[in-house]
Each structure stands twice: as structure tokens, then as C-alpha cells.
Amino acid sequence: STTANTHSGEDAASTHDKLRIWVKYKAGFSNAVRKNVSWEGLWH
Amino acid sequence: MSVNLHSELGLAQSSGTYKLVELNDELLAELRDKESDSRLQFKSLDKEGSHVVLCSSDKTWVVRQKDHSNLSMLMREDVVDTERVLDPSACFGLPPPISDYTGYARTTYEYETIKTEGQLSLDNVPVYNGGPNFQAQEGDKPALTFEDLVNNSPTSRKEALDQWHRLAGCMVAGQACLLSATFLHKALHVTLMSVLAESMDLDAIALDGAYTAVSKDMDETFNPYSESVVETVLNRFGKVTSEPGQSPKLWSLNRTTLATWYGVFALKKYAAKTSVPVDEFMLQWKSTFPPFLTCDIDTNMLRGHFFHPQAEQLQYISRDALPGDAKERFRTLFKLQSSWDMQDLEPFIADLNTKHLKIDSFVMKYARRRKVGKNVIVTSRS
Amino acid sequence: MPSVTITTTQVQQLLDPERKQTSVLTPFGNTILEIQGDLEIPAMEPGTPLLSPEYQFNTCKDKDTVRFGLLHISEDKKHATLYIGKKQRLLGSVVELERPLGLLRFNEATGAVDLCDIMHYKIMFKDRPLPIM
């Protein structure tokens, strides 16, 4: 039963992680990359 | 005003379905123009390898993807199915939300548009030299119309049409082709002779009138000067001056374009192998014109087609025969003529100036220049 | 050579100056939310009973959704505040775009492209999130 408990504890932790709502701030902003677009790229 | 923000579950990092494109003033103007059919198109030469362009009815832009590092979520105001009243503590002191926005796509880039020149793809366009046995296409390949060409080229329709006229594009036996320079010259000459013989106004030529005049002198067996060829001549050397929709459509022939065309023809004929005194050449040039055609002529019209081997002499030179390398090109030009008037030199080297510097600054990289009165004289460095 | 004509019927009515977007939402109800950073939200609804009441799963037009925040726009439509979950508060603004952005919808199945909206504003959060006090 100890094993089962640990298991469900991990589950709860990972479920909590998956349910997290959070903004992870990025210190820098970049938009330096520019590239031409192929026809395939247009649709994907 | 407070709003609940929702997001659809499982949105991919970037959506293939929704994309943002920067709308420049010209695109907005095109969209706003109720008269135009506001035809915006994405085009690409092939599915992979080539890049996509965006075309309006008369302009072309390269599409570029501008990636950014922010989260960008597209949201719309939308009522969620189950209304839930927020606990006041979840309002953080704000007024209770009055609506719901739902995120339906994420995007990590915007498209930007860079103006470019539309280019007709002429790979499958044959040259027509006026011969009687013109084969539209080899084998079973279907004939290409001009509309096919536009559809197959990364260009707007207007740019395609301008280029088509400039290159003497023509429909022969249902196939789009380009008239050879020799045949175009004959066709121009015949057309001019015929319309001048009928005393037509060169500033108000109707196609059927011109074609009827051209056909009069033709024998029954084979007439290469079809209505389409005559139309090509009118478009190459003139422009439509009547209002759209007005009937008949009228063309006005450009005298400078005509004189220049005959001038280059005369250069090739009389001044290709040896130089000719300028006075003598002017008479030869005049002599190539059809009778009764009056155009002012000036050697300045022929800049980019001749050089002066010595003072008061000129000789033909083909730009296509010059070296592609800048240093070599300048060396060749100075070998032909040690000192150039900038205006005479410019058309021979303009294509090398890919960074679009001021022409004086560009020339300085390869030659010396000095001012003499109003003119700029260019000489070799060595 | 592949090409596609972009349908523009829907946006043409927006180009009437009187219908130009003056607020956060376009007349068609679209907007852009931009945050300098990543937004972590659940990828799917958990099968198990929810561990905390703060997660508000819902549906909208047959799609599963999750509520991730509360947005406040000031009276003058210039300032924006965004509460994320229970711990983060972001201060931002409603920004007028230098160049309007066209919203393109690509339908791969039918090969159609529709310019379906024109955005003149976005809601922008570029500062570091603050704790909720």
C-alpha cells in the first residue's frame, strides 16, 4: 500500500503541474529572424 | 470593464489555420477600392523551394515570416456554454466580468510584405519569327495563353501585362510567344507604312483599321501580320489612350520609342563593324524610317547602344556582349573609349549598381570622374 | 504553379471609416492578447475530479476550454490589467498597431484563404508579472 500511495502522490503532483496556470516571463523580446515562406509553409 | 479570458484546450504552439499579415498602405488601398475587383492572391512558382508572393491587381510583394518570442493569442468574444458566477475573492476587487473572450489560436509570427517586381516566367514561351510553319508546342503540350502565363508567374496581372507589351508578347495559333526582334521590326515597318499610306492619325489608331490597312497589300498565300501581331506592335510602340470600355480602343504611338527603335536598327545595320561619322549616321538613321514618318532624332536617344571610337564618330555596341564583372566591364568600356560623358556611360553600367548607390558614387569605385562645365567626364583610373 | 485567391468579402465592410475598430475588439469580435513570456495552461481536461476549484473548465462552440484569467480594461481603453490564476498580476496596455494586421484563415481541406478581419489594436503585456497582493 505504501507503493500505491507514493504512486498516487506523484500522480497528484504531476496532475497539479499539468493544471498549472502561469505566465513564465521572458526577460528579452526578439523578432530578428525573418525568412521567406514556401507554399507548404503557408498552409502549416 | 472586466472580461473572463478562456482558451481552447490543446492549442498548438502555432496555428496553421490562422495567420496574421501586416497590411501596408497599398494593400489597404487595394482592399478599400470598390472599383477594383480587389483580387489578392498568394502565388509561388512551386510547392517547395520557391517563396510565396502576395499579389494585388497591380503590385507584388515577397511574403516574409517574422518570428517573435512573445505569446500571441487570437481571441474572440464568445459566450461560454456554462455560466459560472465568480467568487468575489476571485475578482481581486475588479468589477465582475461582463463578457468572455476565448482564445482560438496561438501564433509565433506575423507575415510582413516586401515590395518586389512581378516577373513573368517565360521559360515555356517560344519565339515567333513570322515563319509559316509555327508549331504551337512540341508534342501534346497544351498551348499556353497569356492568362496561363500570369497564373504561372509570381506577378500581378498589371505588371505581367506591362512586361508582356515591353517584350512584344503575342498570341500566335493560340500560343503565347514573343516576337523575334527581326520579325517585330518588319511588323512595325509594315504597320507604319500601311497606316501612313491611309493617312491615319498616329495618335488615334484603332486595331481593326490598322489591321485592314496592313492586310491590303498582302498576297493570299501567307500573311504573318495577323491582327494579333499588329496589336503587339501597337502595344510595344504605343499606349492605349481611349477610356476603358470606349469603342473603338485607340492607341497613340510614341515617336521617341519609334525613333529609338529605328536608331538602334540603323546602328546595327550601318555602324556595327566600323565607326561612322555622326552626320552621316543621322542621315542613315532618317533613311530607315518609313516615308512620311516625322520624328525628331538625337543621338542621345541611343545612349547605351553606341560609343565614340573618336570624336564625331560613333559605333554600335551590344550591352549583352559586355562582361558581367564590374571591373572587367569598366576596363572593356575604357578600351573602347578612353573618356566618357557620364550620361553616355550610365546605361552600360547601371545594372552593376545593385546596391542602388548614387551613380556618381558608384562610378567612383571603378573610375575617375571630373566636372567639365555642366557635364561629368569619366576616365579610367589607370 | 500553386496560387490561391484570398476572399476579402467580409473585411471589406470594415474599410468603411465608420466601422473601423476603435476599441479592444474588432467589429467582428476579435482581438490579440500578447504576453512577453509563455502562458502555461492545461493542455487537456483532467479525467480525475478537479483538485482545486480555481480551474474552470467549460465548453464554447463544441470546444473544451479553460478559464485562465481575468482581464480589466480601463475606462479610457488605454490600460489593461490581467490576473492569471491566483498568483500573478500583469500590467499592460491597449496598443494601437503601427500597421494593421490582417487575420488570414487557411482552410487546408478546401484550399481556401479568407482575410476575415483587420486588427488595429492589441492588448499587450510586456512587463514582468507582479504578485497579487
Judgement on whether residues B69 and B136 belong to the same structural domain of the protein: no
Q: Do B28 and C64 count as a contact with CB atoms less than 8 A apart?
A: no
- B42, B78 contact by CB (below 8 A): no
Return the number of CB contacts < 8 Å for A and C.
Answer: 60
pLDDT above 90 as % of chain B:
75
Judgement on whether residues B112 and B10 belong to the same structural domain of the protein: yes
Question: CA-CA distance, B339 to B329, in Å (whole number)?
Answer: 14
Q: What is the model's pLDDT at position A1? A: 38
Task: Tell whether A17 lies on the interface with C, counting CB pairs under 8 A.
Answer: no
Judgement on whether residues B140 and B213 belong to the same structural domain of the protein: yes
- B3, B100 contact by CB (below 8 A): yes
Task: Tell whether A42 lies on the interface with C, counting CB pairs under 8 A.
Answer: yes
How far away is chain C from the Cα of B95, in angstroms, using its nearest Cα?
A: 9
Judgement on whether residues B241 and B351 belong to the same structural domain of the protein: no
Task: Give me the domain span that covers residue B327.
Answer: 271-380
Judgement on whether residues B277 and B370 belong to the same structural domain of the protein: yes
**HEC string of chain A?**
CHHHHHHHHHHHHHHHHHCCCEEEECCCCCCCCEEECCHHHHHC
| Residue at B121 is within a domain | no
pLDDT in tens, B305-347: 999 999 899 999 999 999 999 999 999 999 999 999 999 999 9
Spell out which residues of chain C touch residue B86, defining contact as CB-CB under 8 Å.
70
Among B116, B149, B164, residue at a domain's last position: B116
pLDDT in tens, C49-91: 555 555 688 888 888 889 999 999 999 999 999 999 888 999 9
Among B116, B148, B170, residue at a domain's last position: B116
Among B116, B150, B167, residue at a domain's last position: B116
Cell of B150: 500570369
| Residue at B258 is within a domain | no
Q: Do B65 and A31 count as a contact with CB atoms less than 8 A apart?
A: no
Judgement on whether residues B143 and B247 belong to the same structural domain of the protein: yes
- B336, B302 contact by CB (below 8 A): no
Question: Which of B240, B253, B318 is CA-nearest to residue B290?
Answer: B253
Q: Do A39 and C2 count as a contact with CB atoms less than 8 A apart?
A: yes
- B6, C60 contact by CB (below 8 A): yes
Q: Is the dihedral of CA B184, B186, B187, B192 positive or negative?
A: positive
Question: CA-CA distance, B328 to B284, in Å (whole number)?
Answer: 33
ipTM of the complex: 0.90
Judgement on whether residues B57 and B88 belong to the same structural domain of the protein: yes
- Strand ranges, E, within B180-229: 205-206
| Residue at B263 is within a domain | no
Judgement on whether residues B133 and B109 belong to the same structural domain of the protein: no
Number of domains in chain B: 3
| Residue at B199 is within a domain | yes
Q: Do A25 and C2 count as a contact with CB atoms less than 8 A apart?
A: no
Average confidence (pLDDT) over B87-111: 89
Judgement on whether residues B332 and B296 belong to the same structural domain of the protein: yes
| Residue at B241 is within a domain | yes
Judgement on whether residues B290 and B315 belong to the same structural domain of the protein: yes
Peptide bond into B309 cis (omega under 30): no
pLDDT in tens, C86-114: 889 999 999 999 999 999 999 988 999 99
